[in-house]
Amino acid sequence: MLKNLKYLKSIDYDPTSLILEKIRVAQELYEHWSDYFFKDEKFIDLLKRYEEAVLKSNKTMEKLGTFNECYICSVLEKKGCCKAGLENEVTINILLINMFLGVQIPKEREVPLRCFFVGPTGCKIFARPFLCRDYFCRRLLDKLGEKGYILVTQVLNEELTLLYEICSYIKKELEFLLGDFLIELDLTGYA
Ligand code: SF4
Ligand code: SF4
């Protein structure tokens, strides 16, 4: 499948190669088209609503103690589920959203055998993939209980719907600007 793609080039068997290539494409698109997007009121409104939804989900998870549980699990106990390879869930679209929100994209894997985006205290990007946001292991489910889980699912539903909307919007605009079908923008790397 990768052979047919136009924007992603030179992917090799190095497990970090695909995410580095996605970052390169996202940076190139950002440099060329960020001014265009920043002038688009509909896009800015969508971006703001998405940012607010992420902050709301984060606040809810913070209150319910899931962030702390993940910190104990991954940083203190050296377990955790953000393994190497999961960075491929981060699409070019998600990288672009982080760039639009002023997030610094890492240049290299900081923690060996962990996801490319793991830092000393957890994930370093703000806009995160569907899988990362909507994953609750047994330990977290026990921590949340039924009521907590329902609450988290509700706020995440808002966030992930907006993530889908903003990704579709960016893709539609870039396809119009470049006159091309950009399947690469949503590629995770497992297909
Ligand atoms: S989701 Fe579960 S396995 Fe992953 S870091 Fe949190 S507590 Fe650990
Ligand atoms: S939450 Fe962040 S660090 Fe963890 S797998 Fe997802 S992108 Fe990687």
Q: Show me where the domains of the chain are located.
A: 16-178
Query: 39: CA distance to ligand 2 center in Å?
Result: 30
Counting Cβ atoms within 10 Å, is residue 102 exposed (0-12), middle (13-18) or buried (19+)? Answer: exposed
What pLDDT shows up at residue 153? 95
- Kindly report, residue by residue over 72-82, the tens digit of the pLDDT: 999 899 899 99
For residue 188, name the pLDDT band (cuts at 50, 70, 90). Answer: confident
Q: In this model, does residue 191 exceed pLDDT 50?
A: no
**pTM for this prediction:** 0.91
- Kindly report, residue by residue over 109-148, the tens digit of the pLDDT: 999 899 999 998 889 999 999 999 999 999 999 999 999 9
**Does the CB atom of residue 66 touch ligand 1 within 6 A?**
no
- Kindly report, residue by residue over 40-49, the tens digit of the pLDDT: 999 999 999 9
Residue entry with tokens 């919007």: 169
Residue entry with tokens 């702390």: 68
Residue whose Cα lies nearest atom 2 of ligand 2: it is 123
Tokens linked to 102: 């002023």
Ligand with minimal distance to 135 CA: 1
Query: 123: CA distance to ligand 2 center in Å?
Result: 5
Exposure b/e, 144-171, CB count within 10 A at least 16 = b: beeebbebbeebbebbbebbeebbebbb
Ligand with minimal distance to 128 CA: 2
